[in-house]
Amino acid sequence: MARIAFVQNLVFEYLGTMYLSSVLKNKGHKVNVFIDQGRHLYKMIGEIKNFNPDIIGFSCTTGVHLWGVKAAGLLKKEFSNVKIIFGGPHSTFFPEIINEPSVDIICRGEGEYALLELADKIDSGKDYHSILNLWVKKDGVIFKNEIRPLIANLDELPFPDRSLYIRKHPSLNKSQKKFIVGRGCPFSCSYCFNPSLRELYKGKGSYVRLRNVENVIREIKEVKNEYRTKLFYIQDDTFAFNKRWALDFLEQYKKEVKIPFICPIRADLIDEEIVKNLKQAGCQNVFFGLESGSENIRNFILKKQITDEQIYKTANLLRKYRIGFRTYNMFGSPNESLQDAFKTIELNIKIKTDYPWSSLLQPFPGTELGEYVKQNNIFEGDFSRFDMSFFKKSNIKLKDKKEIENLHKLFFFAVKFPFLLPLIKWAIRRECTLLYETLFLVGYMYSFKRSEGITWSETVCMGLNNLHNFFFSRYRCQ
């Protein structure tokens, strides 16, 4: 059987990798995961040598791929005959990464059956240059294969291989466990990849798919019985976009699971029936995007298509049924003024957000928003390097850029302690970068810990495990 090594740079459980592992293992292949923790890459290379892989796989988002390419270059020197494959969002939307000398194959879109077919053919010594979803580099020629149809029946996939991480990294055996109930998002926010992925799969099946309720409940019960679990996290893009499915799921969850859970929602999809059933089923917290306090920015720039009235209604219902909520907010949108930025704070204060969270907007290449900032000549970064910085600085031309960046870092305190607003309005005009970044980290850790229902020890452990990614070079791999 083939041996597949997955390599990543965060001490984190990725559901996508766990799904790939379960599909491969079900057919008898050997799978292991190796994590570059900043200062131990050569130790990791030694561990990979002991595993003796046939395939080394990277699943990278845009930005993280920079680390991936560097790490793959070092690994290629040690494993010249091993095939290195890149998958994930970056390879899907920027398949030209196949031109990197260290990359032999890239996978676009869903990877389960493409990677399984690759492993089967490498194991049997058969030619693999024509596998759907894969671009394959062979003897200087790149074979660009078509996208295969989407997996129509998600229930046919085995449950994620959760042992993949926990066996090697016991610290990842947290009291919170994640799962997904479907794939695809029906909405078209301008900053998101979903519209582009829908277009890629046009004519290849239904883009938005849900698992059967019974299948999801069975997975949850298996995890509940096998691991110490105090909280479940539904990690889909949006929960409850199919109201009938959601109500059926919540009814069965209430009867058969009886463990608190958290989930994402959209403010325009929520009514009292849904909120009431969420509470009765054990929902502890929900997360939803405000993005901006300016309806103009939210709906005409970001294409969120959610009104202030819908946000107020949802917040009031959540408060009525005592469900906590975390709001996602973005600063630095195109054309955003300092006044617009303060509207975001005002909206969060009015709805009494329990766990305020914010980032600096990053216009990814290939998205509608990415094209907008290029066409309007307001992008100050380097698209060729995909330089993204969600928490450090904006890469969009803004009149009050420094003040907006500082306000983003003080956002948590402005929302939770409105009496500080006069001081914050004064402070954002001062240069105190280290202080503001420290305060941002404090607010971020508090909101993360409380909203996700994990312990302080688990929060600190996660932070320490990934410290190198935040305080050393973001793409450090030497």
pLDDT at 169: 83
Examine the domain organization and report whether 344 and 235 are in the same domain. Answer: yes
Average pLDDT of 302-331?
A: 97
Whether 44 is in a domain gets the answer: yes
pLDDT tens string 136-153: 999 889 999 999 999 999
Examine the domain organization and report whether 137 and 215 are in the same domain. Answer: no
pLDDT at 385: 66
Examine the domain organization and report whether 188 and 71 are in the same domain. Answer: no
* Residue 254 structural domain: 175-453
Report the CATH number at residue 185: 3.20.20.70
Average pLDDT of 285-311?
A: 97
pLDDT tens string 46-75: 899 999 999 999 998 888 888 899 999 999
Examine the domain organization and report whether 441 and 399 are in the same domain. Answer: yes
Per the structure, the count of domains in the chain is 2
pLDDT at 477: 36
Rounded Cα distance between 263 and 233, Å, is 6
Rounded Cα distance between 449 and 451, Å, is 6
Q: Name residues whose C-beta falls within 8 Å of residue 218's C-beta, 6 or more positions apart in sequence.
A: none
pLDDT at 436: 92
pLDDT tens string 93-140: 999 999 999 999 999 999 999 999 999 999 999 999 999 999 999 988
Whether 463 is in a domain gets the answer: no
Examine the domain organization and report whether 207 and 326 are in the same domain. Answer: yes
Model pTM?
0.93
For residue 179, is pLDDT > 50? yes
Token pair for 81:
């005959």
Whether 23 is in a domain gets the answer: yes
pLDDT at 139: 87
Examine the domain organization and report whether 197 and 125 are in the same domain. Answer: no
pLDDT tens string 339-396: 999 999 999 999 999 999 999 998 988 899 999 998 999 988 776 666 666 778 888 9
pLDDT at 478: 35
Other CB atoms closer than 10 Å to residue 279's CB: what's the count?
18
Token pair for 123:
């194991």
Distance, CA of 445 to chain centre: 17
For residue 476, is pLDDT > 50? no
Q: Name residues whose C-beta falls within 8 Å of residue 333's C-beta, 6 or more positions apart in sequence.
A: 291, 292, 297, 301, 302, 340, 361, 396
Whether 470 is in a domain gets the answer: no
Whether 161 is in a domain gets the answer: no
Examine the domain organization and report whether 11 and 125 are in the same domain. Answer: yes
Examine the domain organization and report whether 67 and 137 are in the same domain. Answer: yes
Rounded Cα distance between 159 and 223, Å, is 10
Report the CATH number at residue 82: 3.40.50.280
Rounded Cα distance between 319 and 310, Å, is 14
For residue 468, is pLDDT > 60? no
Whether 476 is in a domain gets the answer: no
Whether 163 is in a domain gets the answer: no
Whether 472 is in a domain gets the answer: no
Examine the domain organization and report whether 210 and 124 are in the same domain. Answer: no
Examine the domain organization and report whether 120 and 213 are in the same domain. Answer: no
The three-state (H, E, C) secondary structure of 390-414, written as one string = CCCCCCECCCCHHHHHHHHHCHHHH
Examine the domain organization and report whether 133 and 189 are in the same domain. Answer: no
Examine the domain organization and report whether 71 and 209 are in the same domain. Answer: no
- b/e sequence 373-409, b meaning 16+ C-beta within 10 Å: beeeeebebeeeebebeeeeebbbebebbebbbbbbb
